[in-house]
Structure 1
């Protein structure tokens, strides 16, 4: 039967609802500044009018965003959706060339860019029609000027269908080239509902949510769920991560939840400030993006109590694959399934499959596949990637693992060479290609090596060109500025040659074994 209608709520309506129900309650807090829901709605409405009237943004057009976490970025998301446009946030830590690629590949019409990112704006000049700045800049009209110009305007909420795109969530494949996972209004409404159901049950407007990660990715999805329940979003005043400031904010605002990654949880609970401030208001400390070492898990549970929530997911499934709730976390090894990332999220189905797509029995390792309403609509204009990522309707995650007899999932490896550093996916090929442009290097291989703080960091094994004697630290210093800082390897070693297989191939497995044999591989 053909559906009578596939029209769904425009996601911007979450903000509209809060402006009506809680007009004077704060929706966004940073330092001493508190912005009520009604004011956010008015500012988002004025900016939406500017997007349409001044820049001709229409339904389906893309708005690329390069910005650190701020009020303007948060409001602009709802303004973008109000006119039916697509939100395209970039990781603000990326290099100018990274943003230029995203501008071209997404087909963005406009760029909203923090004033501190002038080089990024310049890099996109040939791809976008215009640039809007957040803060006074030399490269575009600033956001607040546009809001003031159109004060009082509130364009109608654009009509959207279930499968209309709302967000291009940039992820990466094994090549390291970013791909735009297309998220839709209908899909995202399910994701928000699922987050509230599985991750933060009982969330109400009396809660408070603290942001300790970029709103461009997982934290942005998390904060959208907060808006759906009228929960204020709190940002640290400082630009640098400061555990003492975080714990002070938790105490001051009686924070009930935060979304983070294992590295940040580790830094927070190991800081002396955890014992100086009251964090008894916390109900859900959600961590994702990488496995957490058991020792770190135990320490967090001992410091914070039963508030940890783990989930496993990818940008393509908007985080919605498995969940391990507080009741299934324990500092007692005998009372916990150590190593699991939980069971399937509500409304989602998880399988472990062999190469032909056949379901494997419990205990057998294969590729993790998933179906359900949280799965994205495919990669934007990338039929080759879509063909590789879907099989018989299942989305193939590229991660390897196994299920136990009760349906708990255990990650046992990755299908690619990607490693995770501080919750960020790092793809060695991009780093290797940059290093190979150094005049003194002939061969390069980068691996993710154990790191006590970040989980994994890059270790570069390099072979100099004949007659060259590069200094490892000098090479790493040279690399800085050529790739995003968070992708920089932490260590580099020089060898006369890289080991090769009988087929003449350089394999990570052989290089890792040689590093161990030489005593140059870090201890876990």
Structure 2
């Protein structure tokens, strides 16, 4: 292989500080509306000036050094957007927590990240108290630290020294949701995120301009924050819900008022939007891209959303470690009707610049149609877990990032997710993938949500239990008769349980870990034969 640098080190690995995306949009359209929340409006010039002021304060008043981690505990608000860009501009690393987590959980994240400075919304005094010894800035008026708003006003007109960054300099600690064990800090870098922003704009939302508007309906601490970073890059106005309460009718009113064209969501929230009575009269004509990720969407829900909203759905698959950047199923490939050319159940094809392999347990690539672990390489893959060599050793093999998700590819390179490796169970010596069973159960008109998981069984090793949420009267016998002809006998659940709702994570995902914990709390696992 030739070496264009003649054996020398690269001349430069310096890249743009991500906060420069805001400066560029502010220069292009200073008087345009950048951020909206309730009755508050910030122009791009105001957004830029406030970010500069806070970044200057972080450097001069709080001594924020390049690479220092800054924790953030807050529900969505304008100041959270401001703080994210200010931290980057000052050279810090953004460490957002999901605001629904407990004080103890946030204390763990703070310690694990090594953060010495915390931005905490005034609504969370218990979270501030849980991290003694941490320098505190309050978003709003609170008794535990100076107000971010007051600090901003004190430094208005001041400009920070924009931190010079290299491609591999950390910019964001993206914590995993911790579905197995403690959450881990995935290290995202300035160079990696620049690729992700470009890829999101190319593969998910091509053609965005300042005439577009984006509505935020998910926490900015995770996928929605990455989504909004892409909006900032193109000067798209960001509209935040006026409160943390999720009101579907209000969502549609904001879509109408601001001619919202893009939204990022997860399947459970999209399902709520589609099925709410207010949707029937909603003006959705401005929507161009309704992007969903975080979990696969069941086919019946996908069809309902397409019939309701039109061909505006865009799906992507990816983990925080790859910043969502693995596959895309663009709007034109979403099919309402099942037919010979419809790829039912696919999460799409590889994103631009990303390579996917389905590998066996030794790391060998499997042929199309065979199930194995989904592994990826490309510029979107993170720099590893922070101070966690054991997790890094487990997650990388021969340079490939191992997602822990199982699936297969077809001949054309479209990926199909079978489920998490940890979700699979073995019954009578055969591998059982819950997602296939869940898809079949959800075609019953009385079932709105379902989760299937394996529990111990003395004869078969493990058997499936189906935890169902019903929207109409239905019995265990009804469901068994319904899906019996649709599945092999060893895949049929041994029990059907009916709950009023399924527990969901702070990101709106149905997780098997939480369901298993709820089964245990109800004493139901004790009843399972061991």
Q: How far off is 1:20 after superposition?
A: 0.9
Identify the residue that residue 368 of structure 1 maps to in structure 2. 374
Q: How far off is 1:490 after superposition?
A: 6.1
Q: How far off is 1:23 after superposition?
A: 0.6
Q: Work out the CA distance in 1 between the residues paired with 2:278 and 2:104.
A: 39
For the residue of structure 2 that corresponds to 1:226, the secondary structure is helix
Q: Work out the CA distance in 1 between the residues paired with 2:48 and 2:89.
A: 11
2:80 is aligned with 1:73: yes
Render the CA deviation track for 1:415-444: whole Å, top value 9, x for unaligned. Answer: 124999xxxxx9x9xxxxxxxxxxxxxxxx
Identify the residue that residue 480 of structure 2 maps to in structure 1. none
Contact 1:400 1:411 in 2 (8 A): yes
Distance 1:65 1:210, change over 3 A: same
Contact 1:367 1:401 in 2 (8 A): yes
Q: Work out the CA distance in 2 between the residues paired with 1:213 and 1:141.
A: 28
For the residue of structure 1 that corresponds to 2:57, the secondary structure is helix
Q: How far off is 1:149 after superposition?
A: 1.2
Identify the residue that residue 58 of structure 2 maps to in structure 1. 51
Contact 2:56 2:161 in 1 (8 A): no
2:61 is aligned with 1:31: no
2:29 is aligned with 1:22: yes
Identify the residue that residue 435 of structure 1 maps to in structure 2. none
Identify the residue that residue 8 of structure 1 maps to in structure 2. 15
Q: Work out the CA distance in 2 between the residues paired with 1:109 and 1:54.
A: 14
Q: Work out the CA distance in 2 between the residues paired with 1:485 and 1:266.
A: 13
For the residue of structure 1 that corresponds to 2:81, the secondary structure is helix
Q: Work out the CA distance in 1 between the residues paired with 2:178 and 2:243.
A: 33
2:334 is aligned with 1:329: yes
Q: 1:271 aligns with which of 271, 276, 297?
A: 276
Q: How far off is 1:413 after superposition?
A: 2.1
Q: 1:107 aligns with which of 114, 117, 133?
A: 114
Identify the residue that residue 399 of structure 1 maps to in structure 2. 405
Between 48-57 and 491-500, the greater mean CA deviation after superposition: 491-500
Contact 1:115 1:136 in 2 (8 A): yes
Q: Work out the CA distance in 1 between the residues paired with 2:419 and 2:404.
A: 10
Identify the residue that residue 257 of structure 1 maps to in structure 2. 262
Q: Work out the CA distance in 2 between the residues paired with 1:485 and 1:262.
A: 10
Q: 1:177 aligns with which of 159, 173, 182?
A: 182
Matches within 5 A, 1:147-296: 147-172=152-177, 175-296=180-301
Identify the residue that residue 140 of structure 2 maps to in structure 1. 135
Contact 1:352 1:403 in 2 (8 A): yes
Distance 1:6 1:299, change over 3 A: same
Render the CA deviation track for 1:104-142: whole Å, top value 9, x for unaligned. Answer: 11000100001111111111114x2x1111011111111
TM-score in terms of structure 1 length: 0.82
For the residue of structure 1 that corresponds to 2:406, the secondary structure is strand
What value does the CA root-mean-square deviation take over the aligned residues? 2.7
Q: Work out the CA distance in 2 between the residues paired with 1:235 and 1:50.
A: 26
Q: Work out the CA distance in 2 between the residues paired with 1:347 and 1:41.
A: 32
For the residue of structure 2 that corresponds to 1:178, the secondary structure is coil
Render the CA deviation track for 1:391-423: whole Å, top value 9, x for unaligned. Answer: 000000000000011100001121124999xxx
2:304 is aligned with 1:299: yes
Distance 1:211 1:447, change over 3 A: farther
Q: Work out the CA distance in 1 between the residues paired with 2:287 and 2:510.
A: 32
Q: Work out the CA distance in 2 between the residues paired with 1:133 and 1:107.
A: 19
2:384 is aligned with 1:378: yes
Contact 1:93 1:485 in 2 (8 A): no
Contact 1:312 1:321 in 2 (8 A): yes
Contact 1:353 1:369 in 2 (8 A): yes
Identify the residue that residue 529 of structure 2 maps to in structure 1. 499
Contact 1:132 1:142 in 2 (8 A): yes
Unaligned runs of 5+ in 2: 425-433, 436-450, 454-463, 472-498, 503-508
Q: How far off is 1:151 after superposition?
A: 1.3
Distance 1:274 1:99, change over 3 A: same
Q: Work out the CA distance in 1 between the residues paired with 2:372 and 2:177.
A: 21
For the residue of structure 2 that corresponds to 1:302, the secondary structure is helix
Q: Work out the CA distance in 2 between the residues paired with 1:284 and 1:311.
A: 12
